[in-house]
Chain A
């Protein structure tokens, strides 16, 4: 097997031992103009297939991302940003740590794919021999097929020119007529360029906290259903609500924008409609153990309104004293999501759950984290 270190177009390292501190104020773009092509990977042959598969949910014309990466001309100017986002681990926006406890549906790039894009972005961004790559626009159809219940927002949301960020909440159904089990829910954005994330949940009429959080929706990701046999109970008389976070990218700054999204609800089918175990949430607090009154199967963890770069880890201590990791992830503001465990985890009655948070600096606990363990008895 042959690997290469890659030839590096050096622009002159700074020799600190000479005690000389140089600050080049020249525009990076100027230097890039002279950047030699050192990448053996090209956009059309190597990079495009990767970004199409992993980034095409958002980085398309008219998508929520600030730039499309679906053609060479669109991607090339953003090479430095791509490099920064990938080396920092900010992209792709999935921050689970399966090395602590296995998780479902990891949205990550393989190490090789990561290396291909970074080599291209840092190595002169060659185009390749193919001349065309198909541009793309956001998906306008349901990822998991036609929902059982599709409810459009009651009114169009108007984001005025001066507002770049806003969160709106809508009651989609005032009262459910009977108990129903929901498998999952999805959002079909009316305007994909501004719908950043959404939470779909049930609650009592008249408001109050969510009874069941059915979906933490993010663009570019197909909705995940819990393992067969589990579902979200939407009780008779409860509301169905969606809270949508709107965010304009730089292209839409100082421009008005509107949206009228549709929420799709998928009910549990067949016998699962009546036999599914209802998922309930257990709130956890950093640094404090939370006891479980009844035996339960842990299914997922999710956090809300988190700051960035906090290392979060949930462990369970069973009554026999054994400690088992439940899930771990890194937080990123604006990208809160639900992390499903690869397999339901049995927690006997009397188990204790510990939530540990580590601040970005590596020192101290972050008390402000709000986190829930989703499970079923």
Chain B
């Protein structure tokens, strides 16, 4: 395994080689369960409020450059959006496809944020964050009617 490290942006690259005598014998780790159980409320207004809140948190984290933390509110936003998807029959017929497509966009964007956050890619994080923001705004627009 090789790690290539720059201590400053655009600075000289240092290479660190790590040699392992034999393949790792680590067994697959099964987690004990979710770190946080996240209760999605039944009340649509509450769900919407939480979704707006999570989107704001994501925006704040992205602004701060805390990319490795965005997955938490991103996944919560995704779960909230999926909960709203189940409520689309309450919407006007014309609004249902708008909501459905918006939920799909939130799900894709949340997973994209997770992946981009892991590797600290600012451009990808911002793109996914913007996509999630736009989709959440569309959801709020149709559910607020």
Residues of chain A touching chain B, judged by Cβ–Cβ distance below 8 Å, are 1-11, 13-17, 19-26, 30, 33-38, 83, 86-89, 97-99, 102, 108-112, 114-115, 118, 122, 124
Given contacts A14-B120, A16-B67, A33-B24, contact A99 B98 (CB under 8 A): yes
List residues of chain B with CB within 8 A of the CB of A87. 108, 111-112, 115
Report the nearest B residue to A34, measured CB to CB.
B26
Report the nearest B residue to A97, measured CB to CB.
B101
Contact A9 B107 (CB under 8 A): no
Known pairs A1-B39, A3-B38, A37-B28 / 10 extra A-B pairs, C-beta < 8 Å: A15-B68, A19-B9, A22-B3, A25-B2, A25-B4, A83-B115, A99-B138, A102-B97, A115-B111, A118-B111
List residues of chain A with CB within 8 A of the CB of B106. 111
Q: Contact partner of A122 among B31, B76, B102, B114, CB < 8 A?
A: B114
Please report the C-alpha to C-alpha distance between residue A83 and residue B24 in the assembled complex, in whole angstroms.
26
Contact A111 B81 (CB under 8 A): yes
List residues of chain B with CB within 8 A of the CB of A111. 81-82, 85, 100, 103-104, 106-107
The answer, yes or no, to whether B60 is at the interface (CB within 8 Å) is no
* Max chain A C-beta neighbours (<10 A), residue from B31, B65, B78, B102: B31
List residues of chain B with CB within 8 A of the CB of A83. 111, 115
Contact B4 A6 (CB under 8 A): no
Smallest CB separation, A120 vs chain B (Å): 12
Q: Contact partner of A13 among B1, B68, B75, B83, CB < 8 A?
A: B68
Q: Contact partner of A22 among B5, B29, B85, B100, CB < 8 A?
A: B5
CB within 8 Å of A: which B1-43 residues = 1-9, 13, 24, 26, 28-42
Please report the C-alpha to C-alpha distance between residue A226 and residue B118 in the assembled complex, in whole angstroms.
47
Interface residues on chain B, number (Cβ under 8 Å): 64
List residues of chain A with CB within 8 A of the CB of B117. 13
Contact B108 A114 (CB under 8 A): yes
Contact B33 A7 (CB under 8 A): yes
Report the nearest A residue to B39, measured CB to CB.
A2
Please report the C-alpha to C-alpha distance between residue A34 and residue B24 in the assembled complex, in whole angstroms.
9
Smallest CB separation, A358 vs chain B (Å): 14
Contact B108 A13 (CB under 8 A): no
Given contacts A15-B68, A24-B3, contact A122 B37 (CB under 8 A): no
Residues of chain B touching chain A, judged by Cβ–Cβ distance below 8 Å, are 1-9, 13, 24, 26, 28-42, 64-69, 71-72, 75-76, 78-83, 85, 97-98, 100-104, 106-108, 111-112, 114-115, 117-120, 122, 138
Please report the C-alpha to C-alpha distance between residue A270 and residue B107 in the assembled complex, in whole angstroms.
46
Q: Contact partner of B35 among A7, A21, A86, A112, CB < 8 A?
A: A7
Q: Contact partner of A16 among B24, B33, B107, B120, CB < 8 A?
A: B120
Contact A19 B38 (CB under 8 A): no
Contact B67 A14 (CB under 8 A): yes
Smallest CB separation, A68 vs chain B (Å): 23
Report the nearest B residue to A102, measured CB to CB.
B97
Please report the C-alpha to C-alpha distance between residue A122 and residue B120 in the assembled complex, in whole angstroms.
17
20 A-B pairs in the complex with CB atoms less than 8 angstroms apart: A1-B39, A1-B40, A3-B40, A3-B83, A4-B38, A7-B33, A8-B35, A13-B68, A13-B118, A15-B68, A17-B64, A19-B7, A26-B1, A26-B3, A87-B111, A88-B112, A98-B97, A98-B101, A111-B81, A115-B107
Please report the C-alpha to C-alpha distance between residue A38 and residue B98 in the assembled complex, in whole angstroms.
32
List residues of chain B with CB within 8 A of the CB of A34. 24, 26, 29
Please report the C-alpha to C-alpha distance between residue A86 and residue B29 in the assembled complex, in whole angstroms.
26
Report the nearest B residue to A119, measured CB to CB.
B111
Please report the C-alpha to C-alpha distance between residue A3 and residue B8 in the assembled complex, in whole angstroms.
41
Given contacts A22-B3, A87-B112, A89-B108, contact A16 B122 (CB under 8 A): yes
Report the nearest B residue to A36, measured CB to CB.
B29
Report the nearest A residue to B30, measured CB to CB.
A37
Q: Contact partner of B68 among A14, A23, A86, CB < 8 A?
A: A14
Smallest CB separation, B3 vs chain A (Å): 6
List residues of chain A with CB within 8 A of the CB of B97. 98-99, 102
Please report the C-alpha to C-alpha distance between residue A98 and residue B6 in the assembled complex, in whole angstroms.
46
Please report the C-alpha to C-alpha distance between residue A6 and residue B102 in the assembled complex, in whole angstroms.
21
Q: Contact partner of A19 among B8, B35, B68, CB < 8 A?
A: B8
Contact A5 B81 (CB under 8 A): no
List residues of chain B with CB within 8 A of the CB of A20. 5-7
Q: Contact partner of B67 among A13, A86, A88, CB < 8 A?
A: A13
Smallest CB separation, B118 vs chain A (Å): 6
Please report the C-alpha to C-alpha distance between residue A68 and residue B18 in the assembled complex, in whole angstroms.
36
Please report the C-alpha to C-alpha distance between residue A98 and residue B34 in the assembled complex, in whole angstroms.
35
Smallest CB separation, B44 vs chain A (Å): 12
Please report the C-alpha to C-alpha distance between residue A8 and residue B39 in the assembled complex, in whole angstroms.
18
List residues of chain B with CB within 8 A of the CB of A33. 24, 26
